Chain A
Amino acid sequence: MATESDLSCNGLIRRFGKTAAVDHISLDVPAGTFFSILGPSGCGKTTLLRLLAGFDKPDEGDIFIRGQRMNDVPPNKRPVNMVFQHLALFPTMTVGDNIGYGLKRRKVPAAERRKRIARVLEQVGLPGLEQRNPQELSGGQRQRVALARCLVLEPTLLLLDEPLGALDLKLREQMKVELKHLQKQFGTTFVYITHDQSEAMVMSDQVAVMKNGRFEQVAPPEELYREPATPFVAGFVGDNNRLSGEVVTLADNMADIRLDNGEVVRGRLAANGLSSGDRAELYVRPESLMFTGEALKDGFCAMQAKVLTTLFDGANSRVEAENGGQPVFARLPQDGTAPRLTTGAEIRLAWDPKLARVYGAGQS
């Protein structure tokens, strides 16, 4: 066990009947990291979190926190605290009593408790709210109280189960930044669960993308975005276009793909074991696509597309088109460089093959 890890797991398995909700998960979270587990609902991320918190036991594998094996330690004895999805603030207690609950269980004297409650409330930006009831607070304030209730105990590890899910969009954007800030300020290791890729990308140092009980890829957000290891990650993290076709030639880690309408395009090879004639999928991000005429930039490749519709959304404006029946999205820059597009117009979209990625078909 690497001693500098706050959390490490190896070979965790949790089965429900015949299906494994958590299937051979190994992970290693260095101290002070904001670690996110990102996946669609039902991928097993909540089950994994409950194993870490101690509400559930793994069928196989071990959990270590700062090198201590945690498998048989009950939740009330683990140096781990959790912020629940719906916060689970105690409705019969004031804000102060909620935050002091854990301290009281540790038999911290009342005077010391009051001091620490006041200090943590100040740190989360809610000074002097001790006597209020949780029900009187706004969604964002309750969020902070839930965080404070855990952080006041100075846990080794803070688990967060989609805590922003219940907030409205604007508040969520604000809390994202704030959470990241609080995590830096406290220096606590966060394990954050979400199905919202933007939350994971904005806040995390490391993101694990989870699917069907397994980690597809564990990487910093930028790497996840630029070099998705699997087609699932490519499709799940950020917007992406998927074009299917057949491998024509392979050379220097690049693949030429013949699309179903006969055009040949290029992309970087992201999977091993492909050979000529195999079915393949090419992923290229909407912002990598550029409008072009007949003349191509050096090394670029291009394809035809027919405009279906344009969607104006300020900086996020985009065009929806199709290539031989396959949908294609491209970003529509609002700086006057984009052509005027009408439905049914034929356009050419070009990209740098180094920014496109090719996987074998049926891998996702």
Chain B
Amino acid sequence: MNRWLPRTYLTLVYLLLYVPIVVLVVFSFNESRTGYEWGGLSLRWYEALFNNRAMVQAMWNSLWLALSAATVSTLIGALTALALHRYRFRGKKVLNGMLFIVMMSPEIVLAISLLALFLLVGLQLGYVSLLLAHVTFCLPFVVITVMARLSGFDERLPEAARDLGASDFTMTRTVLIPVIMPALLAGWLLGFTLSLDDVVVSTFVSGPSYEILPLRIYSMVRVGLKPEVNALGTLLLVFSLVMLILSQWILLRSKR
């Protein structure tokens, strides 16, 4: 009794988590058009997906956006974290707090204010507005990840490097960056994922010139669930798994 109660509970939790994903994967290979009956194994939805040029274009757009947003926010975020960690300056606490506000505030608020800002300055809605918006909400996550890593950083390491003859630049390259590398990687991945599946902010700040995947799927689902979406979901799932395994592998390698 005492033994199988927690087990049942755990099983239920995991079922709840994974059954929908399994269903999605299974039905992506379903010959039948309807989502509730099995019509035999088929790759027709994958074919349909890749023949849908607008869909493929949206996928590339999304990937490119996520890639650039993650990279830009990692660069800015790492420098911000370094500044917050290393220097004392006026308004440091405020700056630190403001990062959290961006992270905690409802997405819809951020979306509206960004849209208002872009309209105000007359920015054409498209790739640039999306990039700016995505960098904005990815930034705090990068900063916090890197700062957590820096908090365990021995302040004497840069001095030791200097003492052994390294210039500031060499010290950064050979000592600082290797130490915070795992955090940079984690922050980048976090940003990439956040950007890739964002709907709310993107809805507001995207334009017709640059369609991205989450919005495309969202509009497809509104007119009825097409099995193509299952195929797409499966592909994204595989992609995320590969990314996850890759990042873990890099982290493990850097620890050794």
Binding site for B on A (CB under 8 A): 53, 55, 74-77, 80-82, 84-86, 88-93, 101-102, 105-106, 149-150, 153
Q: State the total of A-B contacts with C-beta under 8 angstroms.
A: 59
Contact yes or no, B154 A86, CB < 8 A = yes
Please, how many angstroms separate the alpha-carbon atoms of A106 and B170 in the complex? 12
Contact yes or no, A88 B165, CB < 8 A = no
Binding site for A on B (CB under 8 A): 154, 156-157, 159-167, 170, 174-175, 178-179, 254
Contact yes or no, A88 B179, CB < 8 A = no
Contact yes or no, A153 B164, CB < 8 A = yes
Contact yes or no, B179 A91, CB < 8 A = yes
Q: In the complex, what residues of A have CB within 8 A of residue B162's CB?
A: 55, 74-76
The 5 closest A-B pairs by CB, nearest first: A105-B165, A102-B164, A88-B156, A88-B160, A92-B178
Within the complex, the shortest CB–CB distance from A192 to chain B, in Å, comes to 16
Q: In the complex, what residues of B have CB within 8 A of residue A81's CB?
A: 163-164
Please, how many angstroms separate the alpha-carbon atoms of A104 and B148 in the complex? 31
Q: In the complex, what residues of B have CB within 8 A of residue A101's CB?
A: 161, 164, 166, 174
27 residue pairs of the A-B complex, CB under 8 angstroms, read A53-B163, A55-B159, A75-B159, A75-B163, A76-B162, A76-B166, A77-B165, A80-B163, A84-B156, A84-B159, A85-B156, A86-B156, A88-B157, A89-B160, A90-B157, A90-B160, A90-B174, A91-B179, A92-B175, A92-B179, A101-B161, A101-B174, A102-B164, A105-B164, A105-B166, A149-B164, A153-B164
Q: In the complex, what residues of B have CB within 8 A of residue A90's CB?
A: 157, 160-161, 174-175
Within the complex, the shortest CB–CB distance from A63 to chain B, in Å, comes to 15
Contact yes or no, B165 A76, CB < 8 A = yes
Please, how many angstroms separate the alpha-carbon atoms of A77 and B174 in the complex? 18
Q: In the complex, what residues of A have CB within 8 A of residue B164's CB?
A: 76, 81, 101-102, 105, 149-150, 153
Q: In the complex, what residues of A have CB within 8 A of residue B156's CB?
A: 84-86, 88
Within the complex, the shortest CB–CB distance from B253 to chain A, in Å, comes to 12
Q: In the complex, what residues of A have CB within 8 A of residue B179's CB?
A: 91-92
Give 4 A-B pairs besides A90-B174, A105-B170 with Cβ atoms closer than 8 angstroms.
A76-B165, A88-B160, A89-B160, A101-B164
Please, how many angstroms separate the alpha-carbon atoms of A55 and B161 in the complex? 12
Q: In the complex, what residues of B have CB within 8 A of residue A82's CB?
A: 159-160, 163
